[in-house]
C-alpha cells in the first residue's frame, strides 16, 4: 500500500521554500469554486487589487500565472520576445543565468554583463551595456538567492527607457521583505512567487505589466480556433509560441473571461491570503521585520565565529550567506542539522557550491523563535562535529532583540 502523506516536522530556514503561514494553509483548504462562479471572479479581482498594493503600482495588467515563480518569468519572456530580439541580462548569480537560459529558449539574442558573485552592478556598468547592445529588453534579478545579494533598482527603469529598452525584474526572492516600488522605479514587467517573503507555497506566480508591455502583448493575441467568435480578427503581431504561457490570452481570461485555462483555485486562495496578510501588516513594517530578524541572525552567527559572505552593503534583507568553516564538512553539518534537529539550511550553486551556507529569515519564519532555534541548533551541531565556538550566538542575538524592544 502507498504511504499516506505525513511528512516529518521541519523548520525550513534555507533560501526557500519556507514554512507557509498557517493562515495561508487554511485558505488553501477552502472549498473549490468554479472558475466563472461570481464569487470566484470577485476573489480574482480582489487578488489583483491586493497585488497592485504589493507591487506598489496601479497597473491594470496585474494578474497571476499558474505555476511556480519560473512560470511567471517564462510567460513574460515568451509573450514579449520574438526570435532575434536582443536581450541584455546583467548576471550576478545563478538566477541571472536562468534568465539567459529562458530568453535563449525563446529565440532571443542574449547578451550578458557579468559581475563577480557576491557583488552587484553599478549604474555606470549597466548604462555602458545598454549603450553598447541597445536591447529590446533588459532582464535582471532584484535578489539572487545563490549569492544573497540585492541589486539596486531605483534608477534602472528610467535608465532603460532612455535607451529605448523595456525593463523586466525577477523579484521572487525579495518581494515582501525588501523594497519594491514598481511604479516609482518605472519597471515594465515584474514577476514573483509566494514561497519566500510572502509566506506561501510555490505554485502560482503574480506578475505586473506596464501599459506599454500589455499593449505589446495584446498585439500578439491569437485566440484558439475553438473559442474564436464570429468575425474574429487576430492581432497584428506574431503568435506567441506557448499556449499555456500566452499572456495575451491569460490577460483576456482575467479581464473578459476568455476561456484559456482552468484556474488553480487553491493556489489563488493562497495568493490572495499571502497578499492580504502583507497588506494588513503594511509593507514598511514587513520590510523592517525581515531586516530585524536577519540582523539578529547575523549578529548571532558572527558571535559564533562564523564569517558572512558577500558585499555587506547589498545583502538581501531575508537571506544570509555564511562561509563554511574549514574545520567541518559543510554537507555533514547540513545533514546533521536536518536529521537531529529538523532544521533545513541551504548550500549554494556553481562556484559557491560547498563554499557557503544560506539561511533564510523570511515570511512566516522571520520571527524571533525560528531565528534563535536555528542559532542554538547550528551551534550545537558544530560542537557535535568537533568545532570549538566562542559563543552559541544566543546572548548576542537576544541582546539585539531586546535593544529593539526597549
pLDDT tens column, 153-193: 999 999 999 999 999 999 999 999 999 999 999 999 999 99
- The pLDDT score that the predictor gives to residue 4 is 85
SS3 173: coil
Predicted confidence (pLDDT) at residue 338 exceeds the cutoff of 80: yes
Predicted confidence (pLDDT) at residue 1 exceeds the cutoff of 90: no
Predicted confidence (pLDDT) at residue 3 exceeds the cutoff of 80: no
pTM for this predicted structure: 0.96
Mean pLDDT of the chain: 97
Residue 10 domain-assigned (yes or no): no
Q: Give the residue numbers spanning the domain of 129.
A: 21-279
- The pLDDT score that the predictor gives to residue 77 is 98
Number of residues in the chain = 406
Residue 378 domain-assigned (yes or no): yes
- The pLDDT score that the predictor gives to residue 89 is 98
Neighbours of 114 (CB within 10 A): 12
- Both 147 and 289 in one domain: the answer is no
Predicted confidence (pLDDT) at residue 56 exceeds the cutoff of 80: yes
- The pLDDT score that the predictor gives to residue 404 is 84
Residue 12 domain-assigned (yes or no): no
- The pLDDT score that the predictor gives to residue 208 is 98
- Both 88 and 236 in one domain: the answer is yes
Predicted confidence (pLDDT) at residue 332 exceeds the cutoff of 90: yes
Last residue of a domain, one of 263, 279, 295: 279
Joined together, the cell numbers standing for residue 51 give 497585488
Percent of the chain exceeding pLDDT 90 equals 96
Angle (nearest 5°) at CA 149 between 72 and 377: 100
Residue whose C-alpha cell reads 550576478 in the numeric block: 92
Closest-CA residue to 107 (of 80, 71, 141):
80
Give the pairing type, strands 137-141 and 143-144. Answer: unpaired
pLDDT tens column, 67-108: 999 999 999 999 999 999 999 999 999 999 999 999 999 999
Q: Give dist(CA 298, CA 51) in Å, integer.
A: 31
Give the pairing type, strands 204-209 and 166-170. Answer: unpaired
- Both 208 and 294 in one domain: the answer is no
- Both 119 and 196 in one domain: the answer is yes
For residue 265, what pLDDT band results from cuts at 50, 70 and 90?
A: very high
For residue 5, what pLDDT band results from cuts at 50, 70 and 90?
A: confident
Q: Give dist(CA 325, CA 118) in Å, integer.
A: 18
Residue 352 domain-assigned (yes or no): yes
- The pLDDT score that the predictor gives to residue 274 is 98
Q: 149 vs 123, 323, 353, CA distance in Å?
A: 16, 15, 16
For residues 27-49, average pLDDT: 96
Closest-CA residue to 342 (of 3, 14, 26):
14
SS3 209: strand
For residue 264, what pLDDT band results from cuts at 50, 70 and 90?
A: very high
Predicted confidence (pLDDT) at residue 406 exceeds the cutoff of 70: no
- Both 54 and 182 in one domain: the answer is yes
Instruction: Return the bridge partners of 357, or none.
Output: 322
- Both 184 and 61 in one domain: the answer is yes
Instruction: Return the bridge partners of 321, or none.
Output: 358
Last residue of a domain, one of 259, 279, 299: 279
Residue 227 domain-assigned (yes or no): yes
SS3 letters across 341-404: HCEECECCCHHHCCCEEEEECCHHHCCHHHHHHHHHHHHHHHHHCCCCCCCCCHHHHHHHHHHH
- Both 256 and 319 in one domain: the answer is no
Last residue of a domain, one of 250, 279, 308: 279
- Both 159 and 300 in one domain: the answer is no
- Both 252 and 386 in one domain: the answer is no
In contact, 188 and 200? CB cutoff 8 Å: no
- Both 348 and 201 in one domain: the answer is no
Strands (E), 25-174: 61-66, 86-91, 109-114, 137-141, 143-144, 149-150, 166-170
- The pLDDT score that the predictor gives to residue 82 is 97
CATH of the domain at 291: 3.90.1150.10
Based on the structure, what is the number of domains in the chain?
2
pLDDT tens column, 107-129: 999 999 999 999 999 999 999 99
Residue 3 domain-assigned (yes or no): no
- Both 239 and 132 in one domain: the answer is yes
For residues 288-292, average pLDDT: 98
Residue 401 domain-assigned (yes or no): yes
Residue 212 domain-assigned (yes or no): yes
- Both 51 and 76 in one domain: the answer is yes
CATH of the domain at 138: 3.40.640.10
Amino acid at each position: 500500500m502507498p504511504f499516506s502523506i505525513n511528512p516529518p516536522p521541519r523548520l525550513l530556514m534555507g533560501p526557500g521554500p519556507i514554512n507557509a503561514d498557517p493562515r495561508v494553509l487554511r485558505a488553501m483548504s477552502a472549498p473549490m469554486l468554479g472558475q466563472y462562479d461570481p464569487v470566484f471572479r470577485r476573489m480574482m479581482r480582489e487578488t489583483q487589487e491586493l497585488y497592485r498594493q504589493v507591487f506598489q503600482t496601479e497597473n491594470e495588467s496585474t494578474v497571476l500565472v499558474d505555476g511556480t515563480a519560473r512560470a511567471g518569468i517564462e510567460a513574460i519572456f515568451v509573450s514579449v520576445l520574438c526570435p532575434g530580439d536582443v536581450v541584455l541580462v546583467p548576471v550576478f548569480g545563478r538566477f541571472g543565468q536562468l534568465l539567459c537560459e529562458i530568453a535563449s529558449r525563446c529565440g532571443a539574442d542574449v547578451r550578458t554583463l557579468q559581475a563577480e558573485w557576491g557583488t552587484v552592478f553599478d549604474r555606470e556598468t549597466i548604462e555602458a551595456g545598454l549603450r553598447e547592445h541597445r536591447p529590446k529588453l533588459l532582464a535582471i534579478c532584484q535578489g539572487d538567492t545563490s549569492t544573497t545579494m540585492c541589486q539596486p533598482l531605483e534608477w534602472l527603469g528610467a535608465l532603460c527607457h532612455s535607451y529605448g529598452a523595456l525593463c523586466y525584474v525577477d523579484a521572487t526572492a525579495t518581494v515582501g521583505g525588501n523594497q519594491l516600488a514598481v511604479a516609482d522605479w518605472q519597471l515594465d514587467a515584474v514577476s514573483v512567487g509566494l514561497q519566500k517573503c510572502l509566506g506561501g507555497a510555490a505554485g502560482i506566480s503574480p506578475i505586473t505589466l506596464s501599459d506599454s508591455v500589455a499593449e505589446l502583448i495584446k498585439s500578439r493575441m491569437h485566440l484558439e480556433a475553438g473559442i474564436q467568435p464570429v468575425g474574429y480578427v487576430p492581432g497584428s503581431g506574431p503568435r506567441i509560441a506557448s499556449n499555456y504561457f500566452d499572456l495575451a490570452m491569460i490577460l483576456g481570461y482575467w479581464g473578459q473571461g476568455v476561456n484559456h485555462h482552468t484556474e488553480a483555485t487553491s493556489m489563488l486562495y493562497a495568493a490572495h491570503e499571502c497578499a492580504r496578510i502583507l497588506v494588513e501588516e503594511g509593507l514598511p513594517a514587513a520590510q523592517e521585520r525581515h531586516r530585524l530578524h536577519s540582523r539578529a541572525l547575523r549578529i548571532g552567527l558572527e558571535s559564533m565565529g562564523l564569517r558572512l559572505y558577500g558585499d555587506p552593503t547589498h545583502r538581501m534583507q531575508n537571506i544570509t550567506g555564511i562561509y563554511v568553516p574549514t574545520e567541518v564538512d559543510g554537507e555533514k553539518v547540513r545533514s546533521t542539522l536536518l536529521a537531529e534537529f529538523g532544521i533545513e539550511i541551504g548550500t549554494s550553486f556553481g562556484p559557491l557550491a560547498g563554499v557557503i551556507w544560506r539561511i533564510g529569515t523570511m515570511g512566516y519564519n522571520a520571527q524571533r523563535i525560528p531565528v534563535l532555534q536555528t542559532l542554538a541548533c547550528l551551534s550545537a551541531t558544530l560542537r557535535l562535529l568537533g568545532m570549538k565556538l566562542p559563543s552559541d550566538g544566543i546572548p548576542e542575538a537576544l541582546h539585539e532583540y531586546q535593544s529593539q524592544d526597549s
